[in-house]
Structure 1
């Protein structure tokens, strides 16, 4: 039984799984990286599969199903039910290959279609972000342990900062920035975009390009636990378990508040004509 006095919570287990996976990833990162191309054209390395195997092994004690990116790519999709984990063992494989440090381990717990717990760990820096029903916090992983833990919360500014590059983003992004009076770009790779919003470094993350559920679930959980919102362009919270859509997400906007997310979603609808 998870969560009884003296036993690890689901969040504890997920944090431990992420730390184990980060060690596996760093082992590969510190030597020549062999890259292959998946059927969808995206790159994958030995670190992706090895990290997912380590995560699934650690999560197995919960008895909950695990929806993992590499497992799905191999045709392994478990019966999910109403409560399950969503795992991206190495989000930002391109960043991993470039060795720029902007890649993460993502582990989320989904209940009834909503991510209620998330862990995002950047192996290269050791930065970790966690969100669950008790709130959101950040820290650093040093020699396998979390240190410098502190609560985080979204922060609102008169002119929001955006985690997207105007020069490399969707054609509509520049207009969105003008309409919402965006102050500046604070761009970063992988699910760290959600984490920058969660700790108040930025306020807006519009997504005009495709993502899958394992790309966003952990980051969404962290951001929502910190007081933010992630909405699809119809203004509804982004939901999970879309097996009939191959777990693809619609376009969405993440923001430091629901009102800002709604404003972003409305402008995105107008710009893309939907």
Structure 2
């Protein structure tokens, strides 16, 4: 995507969207040919698309002068001094989905201020769907030929039957009990940060997480959901925070929901189920 405005003239959100589009173009070029994956030290897979996409994103964001916390950079031992305001990047969230070629992977870019995600961009390269949260405004669009089209506002919604973003058959052992307790009507399984986006656009109401994630996995999706009216809390009921360097940027278990009341109720139930 061509850039006609100076970094000073453009907003940080616009720069992040442009960075995500550039990364998505590269990812799709790799996706079009045989994919070679290797295992990281933690056993998770990584492909040539991961590092190359992060490099492109960093190139776009560098002009802002803000620190950039990137998943692949951290894996390589590069952790900048973050301060109170910085970007956090997952260049290819859902590498397993990328390898499976099911299309359920995303580019995630978020802006953190004082430990909270205040802006987020989630872009699905295969479909071109893009979700953006910036302050109190959330919107979705479709990327075509490097340009965002069909932009529309999104917000959380409530239905008569509670819909959960999780798989009862492949989730944590406590998930089935949580579904019974909360009287969940149906569940939807989807990869990567698209889980947050389903809540943000009203397709589901609850996303409980019983397995580990890192900050780059969740920051952009959390920003989108919260801008759309939702909430993300840890199991103690507090908002999920960022900048946990001492923990290797690992998140505790959490729950995302379309309201703070639902999030806290689900968090209380999850605490009880986990003992």
TM-score normalised by structure 1 residue count: 0.97
User: Any gaps of 5 or more consecutive residues in structure 1?
Assistant: none
Residue 117 of structure 1 corresponds to which residue in structure 2? Answer: 119
Q: Which of the numbers 36, 46, 59 marks the counterpart of 1:44?
A: 46
- In structure 1, what is the Cα distance between the partners aligned to 2:247 and 2:177? 30
Q: Secondary structure of 2:184's match?
A: coil
Map 1:1-274 to 2 at 5 A: 7-273=9-275
- In structure 2, what is the Cα distance between the partners aligned to 1:214 and 1:24? 19
CA RMSD of aligned residues (A): 1.4
Give the conservation status (yes or no) of the 8 Å contact 2:201–2:228: yes
Q: How far apart are 1:6 and its partner, in Å?
A: 8.5
Q: How far apart are 1:160 and its partner, in Å?
A: 1.2
Q: How far apart are 1:157 and its partner, in Å?
A: 1.9
Q: Secondary structure of 1:87's match?
A: strand
Q: Secondary structure of 1:86's match?
A: strand
Deviation per residue, 1:154-190 (Å, 9 max, x gap): 0012321000000100000011001111110111000
Deviation per residue, 1:59-99 (Å, 9 max, x gap): 00100000000000000000000000000000000000000
- In structure 2, what is the Cα distance between the partners aligned to 1:22 and 1:126? 9
- In structure 1, what is the Cα distance between the partners aligned to 2:8 and 2:274? 52
Note closer, same or farther for the CA distance 1:182–1:9 as it changes in structure 2 (3 Å cut).
same
Give the conservation status (yes or no) of the 8 Å contact 2:7–2:64: no
TM-score normalised by structure 2 residue count: 0.97
Q: Secondary structure of 2:213's match?
A: coil
Q: After TM superposition, which residue ranges in structure 1, 4 or more long, deviate above 2 angstroms?
A: 3-6
Deviation per residue, 1:223-267 (Å, 9 max, x gap): 000000000000000000000000000000000000000110000
Give the conservation status (yes or no) of the 8 Å contact 2:167–2:187: yes
Q: How far apart are 1:4 and its partner, in Å?
A: 10
- In structure 1, what is the Cα distance between the partners aligned to 2:8 and 2:166? 43
Give the conservation status (yes or no) of the 8 Å contact 2:136–2:228: no
